[in-house]
Amino acid sequence: MILFYFISAIILSVATLLVNKRRTAQIMISLFAAIQIAFAYYAYLHLNQTDLSYFTYDPLGVIFLSVLSIIFPATIYHGFRYFTNGTTKRFYYYHSALIGVIAVITGAYLANEATVVWILVEATTLLASVLIYHEKTKMALEATWKYIFLCSVGIAFAYIGILFIGFGIEQYGFTNLSFEAIAKVASQANPLYLKIAFIFIFIGYSTKMELFPMHTVGIDANSVAPSPIGALFSTAIVNMGFVIIFRIYVALSGSEIFHWMNHVLIIGGLSSIVVAAGYMLKATHHKRMFAYSTLENAGLAAIALGIGGAGYYAAILLLILHSFVKSSMFFQIGQLNRVFNSLDINFSGKYIKLHPVGAVVLMVGMIFLLAIPPSGLFIPKYLIFKALIFSNSWFVLIAVALMICVVVYALSVRVMHICFSDARKSMHDVLPEKINPIETVTQFLFLLVVVVFCFYRPPLVDELIRQSISLLTQM
């Protein structure tokens, strides 16, 4: 089935690029969205089965594949709206690359072998760069080269880490680098090799999870890419980075370096939150403001994973719900840009009068990102603080609490300014575009999902998360 999925993606991506009719290209990417949803359902029905030897439909992969398959149709819809006045040629490049990115992210979610993951992650870098450069501005060119360069450095770091894992397990006769094979011999492997491997892999894939110290690549990419693509980068690709780091973490959790890995995750996560809070205080760009929010949530997920206990469950639930809120925010930023014809907060104001429904989405999304009930994000963040208390990690607890206070202040002040205050600067001869309220339906639906999770977690989702962390909770 996964072979059919990849072949379909290649055919539809190439055909979308070559076709000369806009309507036909729309049909092709819509068809791929249907294939994506069907494949996610197939993966769930065949849980824990392996396909083509290198792909396993395990609970963690199925969770994030399902999230991606829900967000993807909304990304397509808002992409169509983005191209209302766009050129036809750019339309084809955009959607062809989008199909490719979705396909390789899907493969990375399900890959069960470290080298296969490495290849797919490199593919995401090349395909994503097409989408980052889409606007073809000077800033877009700079962000694209930075993305390619830093992600390539990250991939090189990850490759070094994979080599050290190979050095550590080759003496035991394993000829592959599947996560299962690594887990079997991790307890006997040289701890020094494993430490070097994990630190290189963590730094390498932090380019995708948007964690410190490689977070800048994601911030710039989200800032210049079209808003629907920003929604995809700050959710699906961040989740991909988490899945890869999580798999390596689980594979090495039976070794002597388990507690050392926890310290690395906590330090990386805490550093990410500090950087996010600091930069949000001076953010004047709509997309960068929410990109730093992604950095903050990715940092919390890393801390949750490092702290253990209830943190394992919280990390996965946090990223699931963050995906729905953050994609809604980037879709809304796309509409806000059409109203103000600017992404500078200084040129934004009185949004509540110009686009009332959009302003409601922006304010509700802000409340949900800050984990204020009825936001479902309150549950995982509560579990993270609970895990920090039970583990006596008081320094981390206090530091995280203080930084979150800074984030609350920075984000709320800026969103309230956009919605209610007068713009600090005005753009002459620019008339606000009228947005059809129907365009906000997907955003309200995603936010509704987050509300539901505050009061009720579907048993299916709960069970998939618990299966994903079962090896860790048994330790």
Q: What does the pLDDT look like over 191-229, one tens digit per residue?
A: 999 999 999 999 999 999 999 888 888 898 888 899 999
> Which residue has tokens 């991790």?
186
Domain contains 73: no
Token pair belonging to 258: 């388990």
Domain contains 287: yes
Domain contains 441: yes
pLDDT of residue 386: 95
Structural domains of the chain, count: 1
Q: Give the pLDDT means over successive 10-residue stretches in the chain (475 positions).
A: 95 89 89 97 96 95 97 94 74 92 97 95 93 86 90 94 86 79 88 94 94 88 90 94 96 93 96 95 90 95 95 97 96 91 88 93 95 95 95 95 95 94 74 84 96 94 95 73
Domain contains 347: yes
* C-alpha 196: how far from chain center: 26
Rg, Å, the chain Cα set: 21
Domain contains 256: no
Domain contains 104: no
Token pair belonging to 68: 């991606």
- Domain range spanning residue 329? 282-475
Q: Counting beta carbons within 10 angstroms of the beta carbon of residue 425, is it exposed (0 to 12), middle (13 to 18) or buried (19 or more)?
A: exposed
Nearest Cα neighbor of 70 from 442, 456, 462, 458 is 442
pLDDT of residue 88: 64
pTM: 0.95
Domain contains 348: yes
pLDDT of residue 166: 86
The DSSP code for 439 is: G
Domain contains 369: yes
Please name the residues in contact with 71: beta carbons below 8 A apart, sequence gap of 6 or more: 231, 232, 235, 236, 323, 324, 327, 446
Main-chain dihedrals φ then ψ at residue 285, nearest 5 degrees: -115, 130
